[in-house]
Structure 1
Amino acid sequence: MVTRGRWRLAVVAYACLMAAWVVGNPPFAAPDEWAHYLRALGLAQGAWVGEPTRDYEDANLSEQQLGWVVQATRVVPVPEGLSPLGFGCNTFRPEQSAGCLPDVDARPEAARLTTPTGTYPPALYVLPGLAALRGTSPVSALLAGRAASALVCLVLLAGMFAALWREEQGALSLVGPALALTPLAVALSATLNTSGPEILSGMAFFAALLRLTRAESPPRWVWGFAAGAGAVLALSRSMGTVWVAADVLLVLLWRGPGALLAQARARPVAAGVTAVVLALSLGLNRLWEALYGPRVHVGFERLRPAWKQARLWWPDWLREQVGVFQYLDAPMPAWAYVAWTVLLVGLLGAALGWGRARDRVWLVLTLAGALFAPVLLYIALIRHNGWTVQGRHVLPLTAVLPLLAGEVLVSRVGASARARAWAIATVAGVAVLQGVAWWANAHRSAVGTLGPVWFWSAPEWSPPLGWWPWTVLVLAGAGLLVSAASPAWRAPRPPSTARR
């Protein structure tokens, strides 16, 4: 049986899925993508934060929400032919396809436009912005920016799989990362929005910490990867420092500080450089927020009505973390959420059953944290600004749950035939659901949510090259993911007949 390096097949599989999302998602259909696109274009032209303005209007926002938004609103330059205005013709209209997009005026003149993301941390906008500047139209510029952001996410994903892979366990070491990479995480990694790199770097940084605290000595590159992933996480968004601290604290409490200190003593230079990079990144995050960040109110006033409202939204927050796409108006079929939950519960149940008492305690505590993270974020912070939480806001934290459960299994379960079969079935289920998620988004885009299930024959909107090439790419990605979990069998060599 050959399993060496088969995590690379998983990386190629997700690369196929990301590419299909990059092209198959209509222009500016991801959450606030037009605003992040403008932020990236402005930054790439030297507009570090743009010009402050209070001249921002949005009929969909309340006065309280508008007061929060204008704190980060800035005016940025947009090159000739790259304006994104007018591409929201079917936003919040899930029954309407993206067929109206070809009628949008390209607005070829150069302009100065307003973006409500003008003071967001700049690091993750640089590469997409430089790529977008090479575009000749809003669509080509956006696709270039999406591809650049997806490349960053793919590097983080590859490092996560490489760090957690164990040859002797094979498919079992793929289960945790596969379930952490929900369809929403894959979709956001292929958009021009810093949520994608934030989520993927959260997973990657936690995976690197898990690898650094194993009993066996890690390769030198894991230290560098931990530094890089941690820096991306810290510099991604305002909450980056919170996610870094939470990841480090969880690993240290679960495995004890001695495990990490032992590895640091073995490679003091690598450990020292990693610590310095993380400290600088965290410091830059705090400095940026102090200079340009919004005024944040944290408090638990009027707790009872806030808790009542949070309970009503709780199912939506959990579902969104699996996958509700575009402007939260393109859900997957109801059975897909049930199926993903079954797969996740199966992983948690197996980890609780095989883990030690200490493992069980921290799995339960992490589960509680994952369930209540959106509630706490809403009650303590988001509601004071008139907004609610979205699943993507907490996924950098909650995704550590399947990674932790997968690590417990890899540490405690032998490479038995039964464990291998269960792992292959779980990864196969993930592959199917990734395909279903892409279909749900494509269906909403091609014919609207009320359109025919089979939309390939007469779509109202199609991506470049039509739907079939990207559908085939999704099927190839799903197949490669199953192949990564399935062992490759090599026929035994026939006995030698040569005389000695």
Structure 2
Amino acid sequence: MTDQRTTGRAGTLGVPGLWVLAFLGFLLMIGAWSVAAPYDGTPDEREHVVRAAGVAAGQVAPKPAAAKKGSGAFQTVPRGLVREQCWQFKPNRSAACAVPPGSDPTPVRAGTGAGRYHPVYYALVGWPLQLWPGWSGVLLARLIGAALSAALLASALVVILKRSRHRLMLGGLLAATTPMTAHMASAVNPNGLEIAAGVAFFTAAIPLLLDRWSPANRGLLTLVGISGVLLAMLRQTGPLWIAVGFVALAIPLRQGNLWQLLRTRAARWWAAAISLTVVTAVLWGVLMKTSDLGNYGSNRYTYGQAVFVEANRWRDYLDQMVGVTSWLDTRMPAPAYLLWQFAAAALVVMALVFGTRVDRWRLLVLILGGVAIPSAVQIAAVKQTGFVSQGRYMLPMLAGVLLFAAYVLEQRGIDADRSRTTVRLLVLLFVPIHLFCLVFTMVRWQHGLPARLGFGSLDPFLGPWHPVLGSATPLVASVLGLAVIGWLAWTAPTRRLTDRPAAAGATADRPEVSTADRAEIPTADRAEIPTADRSETADRSGTAAADRPGGGHTEAPRA
């Protein structure tokens, strides 16, 4: 009979079934926001819609112009997509005053602040906007982006179930996939897909570069490659996130897998693909002047003053990472932010406590990459742009901090039982906040937030404006999606999954290596291939050295 404590109900589905179920769960969770929001319901969505429709019409590289605040470009798009704002930044006003997107295909010239951005994302989501320039096209474009993000997050979840030692990295995944992540991934905006790509990139890169090398890591290579290519091109900060992640995880070289990886053909191909994408993305940025964000007339600060203002703004950035939704005009009650941030901070602090000196070095590099560098860039540009940074811009990098912190904890300090308990506590904490954030934001869009909140005022079925598919549709989708993700995390196996039943001499933690796989391994590394199961007795007893505080994986140099 199968031991539920070891296998878990989610583990009985098999890897393909798990991926499909996780994809559906994330798609429902993100898609709920897609069908709940009014047109231009997320920051700058109209700007990205115009850019996407222009790229779909063949206007890939429009001439840079002073289209918005002295930056951007002009695109020719269907008239039905060009709408003005009337309720943004006014949380007490519903979206009923806005004119919805229409089906008028008449070409008009429209300025967009996103007109200079890299075209690949817009080519993927923009074609429905040209074919059906109304609600049909907008919803389909949103759902295409939601599906891409859901695929990356589902892949990250499966990687954790296959590679994470005690599945505690699921806690990092849950902490990184905030309501703001779902909110942005649901819109026509590359930032949402960038966050999902950052989560997938670090989820795969951490075990790929730090765990024992094996040909079974081909799946990790593929996910690192796909997410790395996407991360490099989606926004201007992508190459920076990749560079910081590489420095943090690959150095010191003697305590990682970089040299072993570079001896394999697949790793060299993916490294070349990511490098080429980074180079072309940087060249695109230089030629199209994407770093010119425009002139906001905010040159009243000295650089010394800007340092203190930027430091003070991190209180807002942290809340925005969790979920200050709509146009940054919808703030949940304070306990939602404090609970999420406390749980995320606990992972980081405990990783610093239990981690080795090299672990702390890596965590510090990731934190500096996600905090200090973006702040320094903001301070340097303050005289031209003012303070335009938002917390969501740092999420792709800070997701790596949470995932690596969870990785360190399960390697150094927390055993299987406590890892499972931690993940379940995070499920109980995060799932209700996700649903509450959606309900709270729907209330804001549908009838505006009242001056004084009460339970009676939080009714998502009232108001002069309603989602195009009705108010019940996003709520049902969100409940189903969150239930699926919560169930997968709650019943996750405490031992690693395999693609097929383990053969004699192999376990889930020490996979069988075929003769064909051995041929790809450098001769010097073949001694590390497991040939017999030596861990099952220790796993069952719960007293293995790897499960004691300070035990487990060490970073001692290999022979």
TM range (shorter): 0.7 to 0.9
Q: What residue number does 2:249 align with?
A: 251
Q: Calculate the TM-score normalised by the size of structure 2.
A: 0.77
Candidates 243, 257, 261, aligned match of 2:259: 261
2:248–2:361 Cα contact (<8 Å) kept: no
Matched position secondary structure for 1:165: helix
Structure 1 residue 20, shift from structure 2 partner: 0.1
How large is the RMSD of aligned CA atoms in angstroms?
Answer: 2.6
Q: What residue number does 1:497 align with?
A: none
Distance 1:12 1:176 in 2: 20
Structure 2 spans left out of the alignment, 5+ residues: 294-300, 494-559
Distance 2:428 2:405 in 1: 18
CA-to-aligned-CA distance 1:27-63 (integer Å, 9 cap, x gap): 1111111111010001111111235544x46xxxxxx
Distance 2:76 2:83 in 1: 14
CA-to-aligned-CA distance 1:371-394 (integer Å, 9 cap, x gap): 434432311235533342111222
Distance 1:108 1:401 in 2: 45
Distance 1:205 1:419 in 2: 22
Structure 1 residue 108, shift from structure 2 partner: 5.7
- The 1:240/1:333 distance shift into structure 2, 3 A limit, reads same
Structure 1 residue 280, shift from structure 2 partner: 1.0
Matched position secondary structure for 1:276: helix
1:163–1:211 Cα contact (<8 Å) kept: no
Structure 1 residue 413, shift from structure 2 partner: 4.8
Correspondence list, 1:100-499, <5 A: 100-101=97-98, 109-137=106-134, 139-166=135-162, 169=165, 171-213=167-209, 214-217=211-214, 218-253=216-251, 256=254, 258-265=256-263, 268-294=264-290, 302-367=302-367, 369-413=369-413, 415-450=415-450, 452-487=456-491
Matched position secondary structure for 2:81: coil
1:355–1:409 Cα contact (<8 Å) kept: yes
Distance 2:98 2:386 in 1: 31
Between 17-26 and 311-320, report the one with greater CA deviation. Answer: 311-320
Q: What residue number does 2:88 align with?
A: 91
Are positions 1:24 and 2:36 aligned together? yes
**What letter corresponds to residue 236 of structure 1 in structure 2?**
L
- The 1:178/1:373 distance shift into structure 2, 3 A limit, reads farther
Q: What residue number does 1:63 align with?
A: none
Structure 1 residue 345, shift from structure 2 partner: 2.2
Matched position secondary structure for 2:322: helix
Q: What residue number does 1:493 align with?
A: none
Q: What residue number does 2:61 align with?
A: 49
**What letter corresponds to residue 282 of structure 1 in structure 2?**
V
Distance 1:401 1:328 in 2: 24
- The 1:35/1:179 distance shift into structure 2, 3 A limit, reads same
- The 1:464/1:349 distance shift into structure 2, 3 A limit, reads same
CA-to-aligned-CA distance 1:414-473 (integer Å, 9 cap, x gap): 653333112211122121221122122112111111175332342222113321222122
**What letter corresponds to residue 224 of structure 1 in structure 2?**
T
2:83–2:99 Cα contact (<8 Å) kept: no
Structure 1 residue 407, shift from structure 2 partner: 1.4
Number of aligned positions between the proteins: 468
1:78–1:110 Cα contact (<8 Å) kept: yes
2:160–2:167 Cα contact (<8 Å) kept: no
Identity across matched positions, percent: 27
2:39–2:100 Cα contact (<8 Å) kept: no
**What letter corresponds to residue 51 of structure 2 in structure 1?**
R
- The 1:361/1:269 distance shift into structure 2, 3 A limit, reads closer
Distance 2:428 2:290 in 1: 44
**What letter corresponds to residue 463 of structure 1 in structure 2?**
P
Distance 2:65 2:402 in 1: 43
Structure 1 residue 226, shift from structure 2 partner: 1.4
Correspondence list, 1:71-82, <5 A: 72=72, 74-79=73-78, 82=80
Structure 1 residue 195, shift from structure 2 partner: 0.8
Structure 1 residue 85, shift from structure 2 partner: 1.4
Structure 1 spans left out of the alignment, 5+ residues: 58-65, 490-500
Matched position secondary structure for 1:133: helix
- The 1:176/1:244 distance shift into structure 2, 3 A limit, reads same
